[in-house]
Chains A and B, each alone.
Chain A
Amino acid sequence: MTKIYVPLPKKKYTDFYLEQNIDGFFLGIEKFSINFNSYVKEEDLKDTIDYIKNNNKEVYISFNKLFLQKDVDKITKLLLKINELNVDGVIFCDAAIYEIVKENGLNINLIIDSYHVINNYKTFDFWLKKGVKKGILSTEITINEMIEINNKSDMKFGSYLYGYLNMITSSRSLISNYFKHKKITEYNNKLLMEVNDEKYPIVEENDETNIFSSKVLNGIKYFPELIENNIDFIILNDYLLDPIKFYNVIEAFTAIRRNYADKEFLNKLDEVVKLNTEYDTYDAFLNKKTIYKVK
C-alpha cells in the first residue's frame, strides 16, 4: 500500500501528527535542508530520531538543496553521524551527497529528489544503476507522466500530493536586498509577491530565497490512481500551512487510502478538505502539460 510521509512539524505538534496513520516523517536539518516549518538541530538529531522510531514510524533526512564548497566538510561529518543513527534514508538532490556516502562506505539508503530537474524514467534509471532505490517525482510533470515513469523504471517512486510547490531557489537574499535598497531595517522574511492578481509566497531563510506557487496543490482526487499504480509513497507538505488545518489534510488522505475505490467518498473528502482548510487549491501540473516550444 502506498505510504504517506509528512515533514516533521514543530515539537508541540509531533504527537498530534503521530496519532495519524502516516508512515513516516521527513526531517529538515538547519542549514542542510530547505522549505521546512521546523528544523531539527544537529545536537537533537539522535533523540528526535529515537522518538519517532519508538513510535514505529520511518525517518528520512532531507538534504534537499545544493551545496557550496564550504559546506562539504560539514556535510561529510553530518553524514558520518547519520550513518550511526537509525534512519530509513537520506534524500538528496546534489550529487555531492551520493559521492560522500559512496567514498566513505556509508550504509545509508539514498532517495533522489528530482527538485525540478528529473522528469523522465531514464534519468531515474541512471541513479537506480548507482544503487539509489527511491526517487521523488518532479512537481512539474503530469499524473500520466508519473505513472509512466513508475511503470517503466524499477525504482520506487513518491510524489508530492499536497502543499505549496517550490517554483525556484535563489542563493540571493532577495527580500533583504530589497529592504536594504529601501533603507528599511525591520521586515519579515516571509512575504507575498503579486503579479496578475496571484500572490506567490516568497521566503528568505538560511541564506537562500525560495518562491512558491500561489495556490496549494491538492491532489487528493489523484491519490487512488497512484495507489492503483503502486506508487510507493506520497508526500503531504505542510510548509507555510497552518498545522491544525494540515491535520485535517492528513486525516483525509489516510481515510482515502483505506477506501480508495469509493469514488463518492473521494469526492466528499475532496470537498471536506477544501472547506476545512480554506486554502485556494489546484491540481498544479497533475493534469496540465507545460508548453515546450513557444514559437
Chain B
Amino acid sequence: MNKVELLAPAGNLERLKWAIDYGADAVYIGGYKYSLRANAINFSIDEIKKGLEYAHKFNKKVYVTVNILFHNEELDGILDYLKELAEIGVDAIISSDVFILDLIKENNLNLEFHLSTQNSTLNSMTARFFKNEGVKRVVLARECSKEDIKSIIDEGIDTEVFIHGAMCMGYSGRCTLSNYITNRDSNRGGCAQVCRWVFDLYDKNKKLNKDDYFAIAPKDLCYLDNIKELIDMGVKSFKIEGRMKSIYYISTLLNVYRKVIDEYNKDENYVISKEDKIILDRCANRESSNQYFNGKPDEKDQYYMAREEQTNQDFLGVVLDYDKKEKEIVLEQRNYFKVGDTINVFGPNNKNIFIKVKYIKNEDGEYVNEANHPKEILRVFSEEIVDKHDLIRVDFLNKVC
C-alpha cells in the first residue's frame, strides 16, 4: 500500500511539537517573512531551526511556506532568506511564485520546491510543465476532482492533497475580493475572508433577497470517507488546512486521520467508524462535505447565511501529568465541567478513555464541584493511566452514539 504522508499545519513552535506528537509525518510552517497568514504567529529563523531539530529527531519533516505573491518591493531580501532556509536544512519550501525556481537554480540552493495550491494546478499538462521545471511536488487545487487528481499522479510528480479544512470560494491565488473590498492584499497575507460576509442581491434595482441574505461561503472540506481511494490512487501527502487553528483542532484531526491511515495500511478492508466521523464533525465549527471529489459541488456544499458556524466548549483541558501514587490526572482546564460529568481523554497512542469525574481538586488541594477557571491547574481521579499531552474533551461520543 502507498505510504502516504500526513501533513499538518503549525502556527508556532508549540503547535509544531503538538502536531509531531499527535502523529504528523510532516508539518508546514510560515516564517516571519514572505508567508501568507500574516496574522499567524509564525516562525523566526531560530524557531524554524528549533522546529527542524525537534521534527528531525523523530524522523519527521518541516516545510516552510514562502507563498506570498511577490510585488517588486518584496524582492529585496528573498535570496538571502532562501539561502538561510537552505543552510538550516528545511525539507522543502512551498511557493507558487515561479521566479523562486529560477533563484534556486541560479544560486544552486539545496531547496526542494513544492508548488503551492495558490497556483491552482488542475490538470496533468500544468503538472508536467512544473515537473520539467524541477518542481518535486504539487499541492493540488482544492477544485480537483478524483479524475483530475489521478491524471496528475500519472504524470509521475508527487502530489499533495488537502483532505480537511476550510475551502476558498474561488481559485486560490485568483481571489482578490479582499484587495478590492477592504484594501487588504489576499495574496500577501491580508485576506479578510470577504467570502464569508453576507450580501444583498439585486437584479438591476430590484432587491432579490427579502428577509435574508445572499452569501457565497463554502462549507469545509472533509475527505475522511475518501481516504482509502486517495491512498490507492497514489497521493503522496495528505494535507490538513489551518495554520491559524488551535492545538485542540489540529490534535483531534491528526488523531483521527493518523488512526485511519494506519488502519488502512494494516487492513485494506478497514471500515471508518461512526465515532471518527462524529469527532471530526464536532471539532470543526462548520459543516463539511467532500466538495469537488466527485465533480462540481452543488447548493448543498455552501452556506447561504455566511457565518453559520457553531462553536462548542468540547475542549476541557490538557493533561500535564499523571500522579500514579494518588491516581490523579493533573490537568490545565480550558472549558467548564463538573463533578459527575463523564470526560473523554484521548491522545497520540490511540487512547480513548472515559472517566466519570468523582472529584475535582484545585491547586491548593481543595475539593471543588466545578472547573470554571480557564488555565487553572486541577486534579481529577482516574484509575487508568494517562499521558502528558493527552487532551480532555466532553463525552459527546456516548451521548450521540
- Chain A residues within 8 Å of B97, by CB: 117, 120, 123
Residue A6 lies at the interface, judged by CB distance under 8 Å to chain B: no
Nearest opposing residue in chain A for B205, CB measure: A192
> In the complex, what residue of chain B is closest to A115 when comparing beta carbons?
B174
Interface assignment of A285: CB less than 8 Å from any CB of chain B: yes
Q: Which of B75, B123, B188, B199 contacts A292 (CB 8 A)?
A: B188
Interface of A is mostly: mixed
A69 near B173 with CB under 8 A, answer no
What 3 pairs across the A-B complex have the smallest Cβ distances? Answer: A96-B125, A122-B99, A290-B185
Contact with A along B165-202 (1 / 0, CB 8 A): 00001110111110111011101111010010111111
A200 to B200, CA, bound (A): 10
B152 shortest CB reach to chain A, Å: 8
- The answer to whether the Cβ of A39 comes within 8 Å of any Cβ in the partner chain is no
Q: Chain B's nearest CB lies how many Å from the CB of A240?
A: 12
CA gap between A145 and B69 in the complex, in Å: 14
Q: A99-B129, A193-B201 are in contact. List 8 more A-B contacts (CB 8 A).
A: A117-B173, A169-B171, A171-B143, A194-B201, A195-B199, A207-B296, A290-B184, A294-B190
Q: Which residues of B contact A (CB under 8 A)?
A: 38-39, 69-72, 74-75, 96-99, 101-102, 118-120, 122-126, 128-130, 132, 141, 143-145, 147-148, 151-152, 169-171, 173-177, 179-181, 183-185, 187-190, 192, 195, 197-204, 208, 214, 216, 218, 292, 296-299, 301-302, 304
Interface residues of A in 150-185 (CB under 8 A from B): 152, 165, 167-174, 176-178, 180-181
* Bound complex: CA A214 to CA B181 (Å): 9
Closest-by-CB residue of B relative to A194 is: B200
Contact A293–B126 (Cβ < 8 Å): no
* Interfacial chain A residues near B98, Cβ < 8 Å: 123, 126-127
When distances are taken between beta carbons in the complex, the residues of chain B under 8 Å from A141 are 71
Residue in contact with A148 in the complex, picked from B72, B187, B203, B208, CB distance below 8 Å:
B72
The distance from the CB of A179 to the nearest CB of chain B, in whole angstroms, is: 9
The answer to whether the Cβ of A95 comes within 8 Å of any Cβ in the partner chain is: yes
Would B189 and A192 count as touching, CB distance under 8 A? no
Show 18 A/B contacts (Cβ-Cβ < 8 Å), sorted by A.
Answer: A66-B122, A69-B151, A116-B175, A117-B119, A126-B102, A167-B177, A167-B179, A172-B301, A172-B302, A174-B216, A180-B298, A180-B299, A187-B203, A193-B202, A195-B200, A213-B180, A285-B179, A292-B190
Could you tell me if B71 and A119 are in contact, using CB atoms closer than 8 angstroms? yes
Judging by beta carbons under 8 Å apart, are B183 and A291 in contact? yes
How many chain A residues sit at the interface, stated as a range, is: 35 or more
Bound-complex Cα distance A140 to B177 (A): 11
Q: Is A294 in contact with B184, judged by CB distance below 8 angstroms?
A: yes
Q: State whether the Cβ of A100 lies closer than 8 Å to any Cβ in chain B.
A: yes
Name which residue of chain B comes closest to A291, CB basis.
B184
Q: How far is the CA of A196 from the CA of B180 in the complex (A)?
A: 12
Among residues 80 to 101 in chain A, which have CB atoms less than 8 Å away from a CB atom of chain B? 94-96, 98-100
B199 to nearest A CB, angstroms?
4
Q: Are B174 and A145 in contact (CB under 8 A)?
A: no
Closest to A212 in B: B180
Q: Are B170 and A169 in contact (CB under 8 A)?
A: yes
Residue of A nearest to B152 (CB): A69
**Residue of A123, A140, A168, A288 with most partner-chain B CB within 10 A:** A168
Determine which residue in A115, A191, A214 has the highest number of CB atoms from chain B within 10 A of its CB, and name it.
A191
Q: Are B38 and A293 in contact (CB under 8 A)?
A: yes
Decide if A170 touches B179 in the complex (CB within 8 Å): no
Task: Verify B124–A72 contact, CB threshold 8 A.
Answer: yes
A64 to chain B, nearest CB (A): 11
Assembly CA distance A123 to B201 (angstroms)? 38
Q: A99-B128, A126-B101, A178-B201 are in contact. Are A120 and B187 (CB under 8 A)?
A: no
Query: What residues of chain A lie closer than 8 Å to B197, measured between beta carbons?
Result: 195
